[in-house]
A and B are shown apart, each in its own frame.
Chain A
Amino acid sequence: MADFDVIVVGAGPAGSVASYLLAKRGHTVLTVERGKRPGAKNMFGGRLYSWSLERIFPEFWKEAPVEREVTKEVLGFLHGERGVEIRLSTRPKGRSFTLLRAKFDQWLAEKAEDAGAEVISGFKVERPLIRDGRVVGIVAEGDEEMEAEVVIAADGALSFMAEKAGLRPKLSKEDFAVGAKEVIELPKEVIEDRFGLSEDEGAAQLYVGDLTEGVIGGGFIYTNKESVSLGVVMRIGSLASKVSEISTAMWEVTEKFKSHPMIRRYLEGGKLVEYSAHIIPETQFMRGVKLYTDGMVVVGDAAGFCVNYGVTVRGMDFAIESARAAAEAVHHALESGDTSARSLSKYQEILSSGMLREFETAKKAVDLMEDERLYSSIPKIAVETLEHLFLVDGKPKENLYSFLRKEFSEEGISLLSALLLGWKALRSM
């Protein structure tokens, strides 16, 4: 008999949710996390869309360590020292919250523990244990084998588990974008004042422009209770040949972002308390990924359920939802005593009738964000147009139409395609 019904690799949101749901249904679950504690090293931008977690823990925000509910959305264009901010103040349809992973992941992992899962931190899983072509457990560091009826790979974007089980091809650096993030502490009142928020309200602010020098990407700021999460996302993998080059570039762009006059005023007097960088899987490689095999399923980032919109990334909600689907399928497989690929294919079925549709829509929005002009010409035009409209220097003004036409032709964009791009951008938000 196997040591455990289920071994879950990784205690990020996907791993902890899967562990929780399966332990709650009475299965023996071992969750192995390589960090010192769940969430210790995990980073993300800062916002969780709540829909999927709500299905598991209704009104979880009353209990979970979330920071603020996002009620203000800002899209900013930066050009040189100048900038434009567009502020959307309607309450969004689905709720979303800012949070810090170190606390949040730990809370979720404790939920799993309380439900009966054994969560063990500080151990790295090396690879799946494979016998006769079937996954039968894991091999942990120090060559230690542990058996399970089903293994759930929730080991994040780099997922060696999926790769070594042959579920996805070896990734190259073109498959990744990179995100860097800082947490900057500020007093609560200062945050509320500078971002125009009332208590518990939060802001999500995204910026594009010449900051990234034409590379797809940009900067973000999310407000927490007593800090802001600020960072930069860039599709940089294909541009640099060395990891050190990537990290230097990320650091430089982050510094540039922070020192932009429009951004700087939000941060004045703040104290940097954390810096981290992480890779982001690009959705394209989803095509080459299989979600299950005999004795194993892959969830969350490990399965590529993460959408990079260029500036923001969304994956927590998909990680949670995919884990829920996987837990459902694994529960059935364990009940029926058949944990073969065929039985576990129920996972894909559940996803197809639900989350995958949402995921596809999300991915469509990405195509738009792929347009490189969004990161170069558009911010420039936005800034200069507004300047043209509002600045009075005593000289005669061109009319707006001819000004715009000049701007667009300088940038080599036709007015029509600019309008189309603008329209699509609005529609996707």
Chain B
Amino acid sequence: MDIAVLVKQSLDVQELRVDQDTGKIYIEDAPTKAGDIELNATEEAVRLKEKLGGKAIAIMLSTGGASGKRQKEAREALTRVLAMGLDGAVLIMGEGAEKGDTYVIAKALAEEIRDKFGLVLAAEGSEDNFSGLLPARLAAELGWPYVAYATAIEVEGDHVKVTRSLEDFEEVVRVKFPAVISVTQEINKPRVPKLVEIVKAKKKPLDQKDFSPPVEPKLTIRELKVPKVERKQIVIEGDVEEAAEKLIQALKEEGVL
């Protein structure tokens, strides 16, 4: 049974520049990457594929547009997960994909996944939007059961045992294949690929396809606003004693002590 790992081309939010004065968000300038939690999903796929006796393939439907820069970054992100031990990757890209909401993307991804895979692994949320909607919609589209927030996955015959972490309790559930599971950051420690693995990953099969939206989106982004957070950014100098005193003084003046 083959595993599909959903990898999103996320904006690197750490490097995304926003201007609080003008409200400008420099989306085009920001680099993109595979989300950190998708590396956890990849790690889990690599671990599970031995047990399931199949391949593990990354699937990226890029919503970053089709510019050369985004294309290159998408391939680099896929190279990274391939280097971790996946067997191949599918990259779906194209003009118009940036307007796709999770409804559109789930429909398009389902085409790629139905009949080919028995298990889909995803991140609990993407790095830049963190909604977690996509795997849930995908499961609904495929008609497969969905379990989110996995902190451990064990294969037992024709089903998997998933431990998942919820706010008030921890749950262990048993799910039949085929299934969609989203994982948390705590499920494992993603391996850091070696140089040689990256070199080899560039030779692994990467199948690039054109995206064409199967349906119209249900949601559009009307506006992106920059929240104003003004921080004084005062650095307290001096030795330990002085710094502690200065800090206390400052907090007193702020009226928070």
Contact = CB atoms under 8 A, between A and B. Distances in A.
Given A37-B31, A273-B17, A142 B192 contact: yes
A190 to B, nearest CB: 15
Interface in B15-39: 17, 19, 21, 31
A120 B202 CA distance: 10
Nearest to B198: A120
A381 B192 CA distance: 60
A118 interface: yes
A368 interface: no
B229 interface: no
A199 to B, nearest CB: 22
Contacts of A144: 194-196
Interface string A177-193: 00000000000000000
A30 B200 CA distance: 12
B199 interface: yes
For chain B, give the interface size range.
10 to 19
Nearest to A36: B31
B105 to A, nearest CB: 27
A395 B20 CA distance: 54
Nearest to B72: A110
Contacts of B31: 36-37
A195 interface: no
A73 B198 CA distance: 46
Given A118-B202, A273-B17, A146 B192 contact: no
Interface in A243-300: 271, 273
A392 to B, nearest CB: 44
Contacts of B198: 120, 123
Contacts of A140: 194-195
Interface in A118-156: 118, 120, 123, 140, 142, 144, 146
B17 A32 contact: no
A30 B199 contact: yes
B interface, over-half SS: loop
A3 B197 CA distance: 13
Interface string B2-22: 000000000000000101010
A69 B196 CA distance: 41
Contacts of A120: 195, 198-199
Contacts of B196: 3, 144, 146
Contacts of A37: 31
A interface, over-half SS: strand
A118 to B, nearest CB: 6
A123 B195 contact: yes
Interface string B55-78: 000000000000000001000000
Contacts of B202: 118
Interface in B161-199: 192, 194-196, 198-199
Contacts of A146: 195-196
A144 B19 CA distance: 42
A281 to B, nearest CB: 27
Interface in A296-324: none
Contacts of B194: 140, 142, 144
Nearest to A125: B195
Contacts of A3: 196, 199
A183 to B, nearest CB: 12
B17 A118 contact: no
B169 to A, nearest CB: 39
Contacts of B17: 273
A110 B68 CA distance: 11
Contacts of B72: 110
Contacts of A110: 72
A391 B195 CA distance: 67
Name the residue in A36, A120, A271, A273 with the highest tally of chain B Cβ atoms < 10 Å from its Cβ: A120
A100 to B, nearest CB: 12
A120 B201 CA distance: 11
Interface string B187-228: 000001011101100100000000000000000000000000
Interface in A16-38: 30, 32, 36-37
A9 B128 CA distance: 33
Contacts of A142: 192, 194
Interface in A49-94: none
A334 B150 CA distance: 53
A120 B195 CA distance: 8
Contacts of B192: 142
Nearest to B68: A110
Name the residue in B17, B19, B198, B202 with the highest tally of chain A Cβ atoms < 10 Å from its Cβ: B198
Nearest to A102: B29
A144 B194 CA distance: 7
A273 B15 CA distance: 12
B31 to A, nearest CB: 7
B210 to A, nearest CB: 22
B220 to A, nearest CB: 30
A193 to B, nearest CB: 20
A30 B31 CA distance: 23
B19 to A, nearest CB: 8
A3 B200 CA distance: 11
Name the residue in B194, B195, B202 with the highest tally of chain A Cβ atoms < 10 Å from its Cβ: B195
Nearest to A120: B198
Nearest to A273: B17
Given A120-B199, A142-B192, A144-B196, 15 more contacts: A3-B196, A3-B199, A30-B199, A32-B195, A118-B199, A118-B202, A120-B198, A123-B198, A140-B194, A142-B194, A146-B195, A146-B196, A271-B19, A271-B21, A273-B17
26 contacts: A3-B196, A3-B199, A30-B199, A32-B195, A36-B31, A37-B31, A110-B72, A118-B199, A118-B202, A120-B195, A120-B198, A120-B199, A123-B195, A123-B198, A140-B194, A140-B195, A142-B192, A142-B194, A144-B194, A144-B195, A144-B196, A146-B195, A146-B196, A271-B19, A271-B21, A273-B17
> 9 tightest A-B contacts by CB?
A140-B195, A144-B194, A120-B198, A144-B195, A123-B195, A146-B195, A118-B199, A142-B194, A120-B195
